[in-house]
Copies of this chain bind each other. A is one copy, B any other.
Amino acid sequence: MEQLYAELFEAAGVGRRVGETIAGTAGQTQARWQTLWILGSGGTLTVPQVSRRLGVSRQNIQRLADQLQQEGLVALEPNPDHKTSPLLALTTEGRQALERINLAAEASHLEILEQFPASDVAALRALLRRFTAAMRTDPLS
């Protein structure tokens, strides 16, 4: 069981590094990529909305959004529903950066799928979901 945890953390670590490298092809980081991704697929959202979708703290996304805005990848739009909580929207530049990252990600996925076929992906996903559910019912957690 300990080995399962060790291998889980190792896989997550390697995966994080792969993501960091992919994002790096467009001069971005894993965390910025995730934010761009959410905005690209979910339209315009406020900072708290993004943080809830990503399951991280509001302040963390606030900081990332400030950086992305300074770099010109994200623009603030007035929010008709909230006077002081603007909507985040991808700029043209931001959309292009996301596009570049997505291309690199696609290449990486195809590479990995050559050695780890789609059927294994499905099996691994199913086991991960069940393991996560089992951990969640542990009263200790």
Contact with B along A100-141 (1 / 0, CB 8 A): 000011011101110110001101110111111111111111
Q: Is the CB of A129 within 8 A of B7?
A: yes
Q: Is the CB of B125 within 8 A of A14?
A: no
Residues of chain A in range 1-46 having any CB-CB distance to chain B below 8 Å: 1-5, 7-19, 21-22, 25
Residue count of chain A within 8 Å CB distance of chain B: 52
Counted per complex, copies of this chain come to 2
Which of B2, B12, B25, B120 is close to A127, meaning CB atoms less than 8 Å apart? B120
- Chain B residues, CB < 8 A from A11: 8, 12, 128, 131-132, 135
Q: Is the CB of A127 within 8 A of B123?
A: yes
Q: Is the CB of B1 within 8 A of A113?
A: yes
Determine the distance from Cα of A5 to Cα of B136 in the docked complex, in whole angstroms: 19
- Chain B residues, CB < 8 A from A120: 127, 130-131
Determine the distance from Cα of A105 to Cα of B1 in the docked complex, in whole angstroms: 10
